[in-house]
Amino acid sequence: MKNLDLLNFNEQYSSSVYQYIFDLFDQIGLSVQQTHIITAGSLFVTSILCLVIIDYVLRKFLYTALNKIVKKTSNEWDDFVLQNKVHIHISRILITIISRQVLLFIFLGFPLLASSLEKLLNLLIILAIYSLSNSLLKTCRDILRSSKAFKDKPIDSYLQVIQIFLIFILGTLVISLLTGNSPWSFLVSLGAASAILMLVFKDTILGFVASIQVSANDSVRVGDWIEMPKYGVDGDVLQINLNNVKIQNWDKTIVTIPTYTLLSDSFKNYRGMQETGGRRIKRALNIKISSIRYLNEDEIIALKKIKLLEPYINQREQEIAAYNKQWNTDISSPVNGRRMTNIGLFRAYVLAHAKHNPNIHQELTLLVRQLAPTEYGLPLELYMFTKGTQWSYFENTMADIFDHLLAAIKFFKLEIFELPASDDLRLLMVQQKKV
C-alpha cells in the first residue's frame, strides 16, 4: 500500500470504510491522487443513490401513511401540518444533515473541497431550518384562525413580524458563515446602519405599530364592514397584514390600503350595527306644505276606517273635546282650540304602521318626526331599524315601507313635494287659458 503520509491525511483517514475502499482501489496500481478520486467518486455515487432511496421511501410510504392517519382523525391541527408540509421540511433537514456527514466523510482526501462543501451544507441546513420554522408559523396561524377567539384578529401581521425576525437571524447566520466572522461582530457593525434600516423599513414599522394598536383597541377585525370614502373603501375586511389591509368592496373589487392609515385617517366601522342586529332607516318624505290643513268631521270619520289609525283617532277626539270644553273654546273658527290635521294623523299612521311591521326592530329607536321646513316642503323623517342587517333585506324592507306610504298619503289629502309639482303646472296652464 502506498504511503498516505505524502498528502498528510493521517488524521483524516480514521474512517475504516474509506480506508478499506482506498486499499481496494490501491491494489489496481493507480497513483495516490487517482485512488483518492476513484474512492471519493464511488462513495459519492453510492451515497447519492442511498439518499435518493431514503427520500423515495419517505415520500412513498411514510408520507402516504401520514396522509391516511390524518384523514381518519377528527382533529384539524394535523391537517394544517400536512397542508403546510411540516413533515417534508423535517425530512429535508434530516437528509441534509445526513448528506453533510456523508459528504465530509467521502471527501476526506480533498480538504479544500471538503471545507467548501461543509460551508455549503451548513448553509443548506440553516435554510432548511428556516423553512421548517416558517412552515410551523403558518401552521400555528391556521390553527389560530380556526379558533373563534382569534378568528377576527390580525394574525398575519404578527406572523410577518416573526418572519422578518427570522429572516434577520437567517441573514446574520449566513453572513457569519460565509465570512467566517462571529455573528456578534456583524450585529455591532449593523448598529451603524440602523438609521438607514429605519428609513428602508419605515412602512413596515408603521404597519407593525398600527396593527398592534388596531388589535389592542379592537377597532377593526377581519370580516368587519368599513367605509373610507377617501380611498374608495366600502366593504368587508378580508385580511390585515403588516403593510396593508385588504378590503373587498360591495362591487367585488379589491382595495388595499396601508395599515397605518387605520390610525392616521378616520373610517366608519359598521360592526356595531351588525352586532345589534338592526340597520338604521333614516329617510324623509317631503310633504307639500300647501296640502297641510285641518280635517272636517266627514274626513275624520273616513280615516277611522283605517284599523291602525282608529284607536289613535278615538283617543285624540276625547283629548280634544276635553280640552275645548275646559277652555270653553269657540269652535266656529277652525283656529280656535285644538283640532286634528291631516299631517298629524298621517304621522300617527306612519308610526303605527312601523310598529306593526314584522321587519322593523321594536326594541331599538323607532320614531317619526318632523324636521324644519325647507324650500322642498316639510320633511317627515322615518327613524327606525330593520330586524336584519343584510343589504338586500334592508333595501327591500325600506322600499316596501315607502311604497306603501307613497300610495297611502293620498287618503290623508296630502301631497308629496315635487320640483315643479305636476298640479302646479296644470294650475298654471288653466290660469293662462283664462287670461
- Shared domain check, 82 and 129: yes
Stronger pLDDT, 256 or 38, i.e. the higher one: 256
- Shared domain check, 75 and 30: yes
| pLDDT 10s digits, 140-186 | 888 887 777 776 666 776 777 787 788 878 887 887 777 777 777 66
- Shared domain check, 50 and 103: yes
65 is a domain residue:
yes
Is residue 35's pLDDT more than 90? no
Q: How many CB atoms lie within 10 A of CB 171?
A: 12
Stronger pLDDT, 92 or 351, i.e. the higher one: 351
Ramachandran region, residue 368 (left: φ > 0; alpha: ψ -120 to 50; beta: rest): beta
| pLDDT 10s digits, 224-257 | 999 999 999 999 999 988 788 999 999 999 999 9
- Shared domain check, 382 and 259: no
- Shared domain check, 175 and 125: yes
The residue range of the domain holding 270 is 215-276
207 is a domain residue:
no
153 is a domain residue:
yes
Is residue 31's pLDDT more than 70? no
Looking at residue 295, what is its pLDDT? 95
Looking at residue 297, what is its pLDDT? 93
427 is a domain residue:
no
- Shared domain check, 239 and 175: no
- Shared domain check, 113 and 61: yes
6 confidence band (pLDDT: 50, 70, 90): very low
94 confidence band (pLDDT: 50, 70, 90): confident
Looking at residue 212, what is its pLDDT? 73
Instruction: List phi, psi (to 5°) of 361.
Output: -75, 115
- Shared domain check, 169 and 127: yes
197 is a domain residue:
no
Among 58-62, 246-250, 369-373, 411-415, the minimum mean pLDDT is found in 58-62
Looking at residue 125, what is its pLDDT? 86
Report which listed range, 36-45, 160-169, 256-265, 350-359, is most confident.
350-359
Cα–Cα distance, 368 to 383 (Å, whole number) = 6
- Shared domain check, 174 and 87: yes
347 and 368 Cβ atoms separated by less than 8 Å: yes
pTM for the full predicted model: 0.58
CATH number of 266's domain: 2.30.30.60
122 is a domain residue:
yes
- Shared domain check, 239 and 176: no
Is residue 8's pLDDT more than 80? no
Stronger pLDDT, 75 or 364, i.e. the higher one: 364
Q: Please, what is the average pLDDT of the chain?
A: 82
- pLDDT-above-70 percentage for the chain: 83
19 confidence band (pLDDT: 50, 70, 90): low
Domain count, the chain: 3
- Shared domain check, 86 and 24: yes
- Shared domain check, 288 and 246: no
Is residue 195's pLDDT more than 70? no
84 is a domain residue:
yes
Among 37-46, 193-202, 265-274, the minimum mean pLDDT is found in 193-202
